[in-house]
Amino acid sequence: MSQAAEARHADSVMATLNFVSSIDQLPVALVKEPGLGPDRNTITTTDHEVLIEDARPIAAELDLDRQGFALIRHPTAVENFYDNDEVREVYYPEMERLVGNVTGAGKVVVFDHTIRVDDQEKRARRKVRAPVAGVHNDFTTRSALQRVRDLLPGNEAEARLRKRFASINVWCPIVSPVETKPLVVCGYQGIDEADLVPAERHYPDGRVGGVYYIVHNPDQRWYYFPRMAGDEVVLLKCYDSNTDGTARWTAHGTFDDPASGPDSIPRESIEIRTLLFFD
């Protein structure tokens, strides 16, 4: 084994990830409101054991326009992430400034957030969602365009769509360090377009969204940031309209960390979703 391969394995874990079984399906998920249990879906999945690399040694090299994800330190003024008013009034503007500063976008819009908790009793009490096992990307090329039209006034939406636009999620622990169900990411360079399976998500209000599920490919490289702290955030590219080689998307999900034990603190995290527009 080469020195590079030895280094790769030294900072890695073997773990099981959940993939969509094949490209020969159109998965559909009926999305429930937070606190009402798991979504109903027609998705056929399969588990694969994969190597998941510690991304901390390469964190300084990560770039949103190359790999599509990055780790950044960002302290927040939010005191209670379960207070939706505080999240919208304090955290949304913080995230808009952060994403704008990192990307240089002329306009950033936070359009929603999701809290996920790896504790069934607390999840039910707080009416929040569980961590998502299946690896996926939050937009398809079609659903990204539709989301802009959903959220912006008609004339502005069409003007923005004629220029570059993108979507970035910001993932952050609420309780730290993260000891169970860590975030796992595959960068843009590790995803072949043949690995992407478009899926529909049907929401209670009648809206139909779209995501990509991921078929397993041994050439994919998966990463995580062990024991993330409360002042660390991961930025995830979920869509980019550029087609010039710029990273257009990533894939993410979660896994059972072999380092977790019965005394590990269950994960609690928040994920902010943004649209960003370039002038």
- Provide the whole-model pTM: 0.90
Strands 45-54, 222-224: pairing is parallel
Q: For every one of its 279 residues, what pLDDT tens digit does the chain have, with 9 covering 90 and above?
A: 444 444 445 569 999 999 998 776 667 666 667 766 666 666 788 999 999 999 999 999 999 999 999 999 999 999 999 999 999 999 999 999 999 999 999 999 999 999 999 999 999 999 999 999 899 999 999 899 999 999 999 999 999 999 999 999 999 999 999 999 999 999 999 999 999 998 876 666 767 667 899 999 999 999 999 999 999 999 999 999 999 999 999 999 999 999 999 999 999 999 999 999 999
Angle CA 105–246–4, to nearest 5: 120
Instruction: Give me the torsion for CA of 77, 80, 83, 86, rounded to 10°.
Output: -10
Which of these CATH numbers, 3.30.70, 1.10.3470, 2.60.40, 2.60.120, describes 3-277? 2.60.120
What are the extents of the domains in the chain?
3-277
Per DSSP, helices labelled H in 46-168 are: 84-86, 92-103, 120-126, 141-151, 154-161
